[in-house]
Amino acid sequence: MTDPVDLKAIEEHRKNPFKIAQAQLQEANKYLKLAPGTLATLMEPLRELHVTLPVRMDDGKVKVFKGFRVQYNDARGPNKGGIRFHPDETIDTVRALAAWMTWKTAVVDIPLGGGKGGIICDPKSLSTGELERLSRQYVRQVGRIIGLDKDVPAPDVYTTPQIMAWMMDEYYWQKGFNEPGAFTGKPLEVGGSQGRGDATARGGIYCTREALKLLGMPQDKNTYAIQGFGNAGQHAAVLMKELLGESNKLVAVSDSKGGVYNEAGFEPQHLLEHKMATGSVVGFPGAKPISNAELLELKVDVIFPSALENVITGDNAPRIKAKISCELANGPTTPDGDSILCAQKTFVIPDFLANAGGVTVSYFEQVQNGANYFWSIEEVHERLDTKMTKAFHDVYAAHKQYECNMRIAAYIVAVRRVARAMEIRGWV
């Protein structure tokens, strides 16, 4: 008699983001054919730190939080990656994001490695004072392994420029000197860069522009939908019209509470104002309600998955009708979903290419902090456009050369660069 199959365990494994990242790397290696030692090194983080964070809450009681910092690979330069505050944070999510950050910095060819951090918490339930104490406590624990030449954190899910400012200040008190480049995504008043706020979305729109050209589609007459109306999604809603043409029509938007649909289109700014006033896009006047799942399956020209991981899977991928999927979120598509999208000719701009604008402008911020000289917004936009456009065409060239999907092509470009750096340094 055989043991019963644990279907729940199989499903959890299938959606484990780090297992997905490893599977994607192994798929790319079918083309790269790396030496076994090189592949084995790239399959795991070089180092990671787990921390315990006691924080005194406003009621006087001490609450203990758990946090992580993963430094995946720094062969090409200091690690770089955001810090997430999320109630469902896991070490495997952080490992996956650190891996994707390694490939992200490599695919846009900036001299950095990949890291990521996270704290298991619900930031929406914390007061401003509690958030500040938690942020500072995190730096007290991880400060020994971060720094301009080691590992540079930045904002991510539910973290903000203000949180980066608190962390930078705590790091200053630890070290006894200012090192503003040790954190990026800061407010402008304390060393932030022009253009950082919308950089993730802006980079994705630059990639979308190039994809539209390749597919022979007009830039200014497309319908689009955004799943996830946080920072990246909000900016994408505006920039799709601002950069590619006012005739582009935003027909659906969703957030964690639900979504709205209007075939006639929305004015992005009005949706932003409604969300600021109510906390959600739900209930926007004149719109029909729509679920996050239904939004992804709309017949539109472009979808922007801009929320969390694993929203496009083998289950719903056959119903995806968009011509282009620009992944502003990290890991929104599972490997089985990828295979289906590729087979049905959906043009996927993979996450660590599509959303690399954020880390690129973070790198620009590091450079400006180091020089103590800051660029104009026009210079930032021009340099970001140059970087993103070249990266897109590097990936597209690999896609054509190896006859693989765009995600595997992005891996081929990025992993080859990291592996070569490891070989030159004598690591493998």
**Residue positions counted in the chain:** 428
Tell me how far apart the alpha carbons of residues 369 and 204 are, in angstroms, rounded to a whole number: 25
CA distances from 204 to 102, 315, 335, 427 (A): 18, 26, 21, 34
- Asked whether residue 86 is assigned to any structural domain, the reply reads yes
Which contiguous run of DSSP H or E holds residue 224? strand 223-227
Of all helices (H) and strands (E), which one includes residue 83?
Answer: strand 79-86
Q: What is the pLDDT of residues 199-258, one digit of tens each?
A: 999 999 999 999 999 999 999 999 999 999 988 999 999 999 999 999 999 999 999 899
Of 135, 125, 127, 158, the residue nearest 230 (C-alpha):
158
CB atoms within 10 A of CB 209: 17
Residues 98 and 158 in one domain: yes
Q: Within this chain, do residues 221 and 167 fall inside the same structural domain, yes or no?
A: no
Q: Is residue 79 part of a domain?
A: yes
For residue 3, is pLDDT > 60? no
Q: How far apart are CA 83 and CA 141, in angstroms?
A: 14
Distance from C-alpha of 8 to C-alpha of 402, rounded to nearest angstrom: 36
Give a yes or no: residue 56 inside a domain: yes
Tell whether 426 is covered by a domain. Answer: no
Residues 295 and 245 in one domain: yes
Give the Cα separation of 19 and 36 in Å (integer): 18
CA angle at residue 81 from 195 to 378, to 5 degrees?
15
Task: Say yes or no: 143 and 204 in one domain.
Answer: no
- Of the residues 349, 372, 388, the one at which a domain ends: 349
Mark whether 177 and 203 lie in a shared domain. Answer: no
Residues 239 and 279 in one domain: yes
User: 14 pLDDT band (50/70/90 cuts)?
Assistant: low
| Domain identity same for 151 and 264 | no
Taking only the tens place, the pLDDT of each residue in 19-75 is 989 999 999 999 999 999 999 999 999 999 999 999 999 999 999 999 999 999 999
Contacts of residue 389, Cβ cutoff 8 Å, sequence gap at least 6: 206, 210
**CATH number reported for the structural domain that contains residue 251 in this entry:** 3.40.50.720
Average pLDDT of every residue of the chain: 94
What's the total number of domains in the chain? 2
Among the three residues 349, 371, 392, which one is the final residue of a domain in this structure? Answer: 349
Verify that 96 and 227 share a domain, yes or no: no
Let me know whether 143 and 263 are in one domain. no
pLDDT digits (tens, 9 = 90+) for 392-424: 999 999 999 999 999 999 999 999 999 999 999
What span, in angstroms and rounded, lies between the C-alpha atoms of 291 and 255?
9
How many other β-carbons are positioned within 10 Å of the β-carbon of residue 261? 19
Tell me the CATH number at 130: 3.40.50.10860
Core vs surface per residue 313-343: b (16+ CB within 10 A) or e: beeebeebebbbbbbbbbbbbbbbbbebbbe
Output phi, psi for 53, to 5 deg: -125, 90
Q: Summarize the confidence of residues 360-375 as an average pLDDT.
A: 96
Closest listed residue to residue 256, CA positions, set 284, 275, 238 = 275
Is residue 402 domain-resident?
A: no
End of a domain among 316, 349, 382?
Answer: 349
Confidence of residue 390 (pLDDT cuts 50, 70, 90): very high
Question: Whole domain around residue 283: which residue ranges?
Answer: 199-349
| Alpha helices by DSSP H, 113-156 | 128-142
pLDDT at position 283 is: 95
Residue 421 within a domain: no
Instruction: Report pLDDT for 13.
Output: 54
Q: Is residue 111 located within the same domain as residue 231? A: no
Note whether residue 115 is domain-resident: yes
Segment 116-129 shows an average pLDDT of 97
298, 291, 339, 302: which is closest to 320 by C-alpha? 298
99 and 71 Cβ atoms separated by less than 8 Å: no
Active-site positions read 116
Same domain, 145 and 286: no
Confidence (pTM): 0.92
Q: List the alpha helices (DSSP H) in 372-428.
A: 377-402, 406-425
Mean pLDDT of the 367-386 span: 97
Q: Are residues 220 and 290 in the same domain?
A: yes
Residue 22 is assigned to a structural domain of this protein: no
